[in-house]
Amino acid sequence: MKNIIAPSVLSADFGNLARDIEMLNESDCSWVHLDVMDGVFVPNISFGMPVVKHIAAHSKKPLDAHLMIVNPDNYISSFASLGVTYLTVHLEACTHLERTISAIHAAGMKAGVAINPHTNVCLLEDVLGEIDLALVMSVNPGFGGQKFIPRSVDKVRKLRQMIDESGSKCLIEIDGGINEENVAMLAATGVDAFVAGSSVFGSPDPLKTISFMANA
């Protein structure tokens, strides 16, 4: 089975965004990953609704939005109306996580929960039956182009076991420092979906890189 590749638009050429989205349309990627940052939850600001709207208008692939923002509940209906398929919130940003997950589902989207590198995967145990996606951050969120944190592999292994034992259909996504060198090892460890920013958009041949990762 092919790996789900979700190129992160954060590393695209914002001056030629439509061109880069068209490239993804022609590629072997399964989703388009949108890193939304508010400068509060993470020390960086990326883009918001007008840019997501533009991407949605051009993309033929499902949109996978990763909210690195506080108070994500306030924006669930906006992302739903823009046509986002997967909406992922951070566990660390949600006081009433179960309520947030229910609201994402009620808005017609699939729900994901992301955890930072310091957050133990055990904290996902009580929501595994409710969510569609568990996102393991393999860098501290906020910036593209960082180095993969090796300890993330153990987190994936543990999470895979938890998901399989619970009977949940939840997918595991990994985000940060993913490249052609580590994707096969991570797929073997149990990752289903791979976010890749700089390794795709910094590649001399992004289509080839996406295809390689999808089949690794």
Catalytic residue among 20, 35, 38, 64: 35
Which of the choices Zn ion, ligand DX5, none does residue 206 contact, using the CB cut-off of 5 to 8 A by kind? none
Per rule CB under 6 A, count of chain residues that contact ligand DX5: 22
Which residues within the stretch 88-147 sit at the binding site for ligand DX5 (CB under 6 A)?
A: 139, 141-146
Cα(212)–Cα(216) distance, integer angstroms: 6
Does residue 64 interact with ligand DX5 by CB under 6 A? no
Three-class DSSP labels, 87-139:
EEEEHHHCCCHHHHHHHHHHCCCEEEEEECCCCCHHHHHHHCCCCCEEEEECC
Q: Which is nearer to ligand DX5, 66 or 155 (CB)?
A: 66
- C-alpha dist (Å) from residue 6 to 122, 179, 202: 25, 12, 15
**How far apart are CB 208 and ligand DX5 at their closest, in Å?**
17
**How far apart are CB 174 and ligand DX5 at their closest, in Å?**
10
Which of the choices Zn ion, ligand DX5, none does residue 10 contact, using the CB cut-off of 5 to 8 A by kind? ligand DX5
Quote the distance between the C-alpha of residue 185 and its chain's center: 19
Does residue 175 interact with ligand DX5 by CB under 6 A? yes
Catalytic residue among 20, 38, 175, 192: 175
Cα(137)–Cα(82) distance, integer angstroms: 25
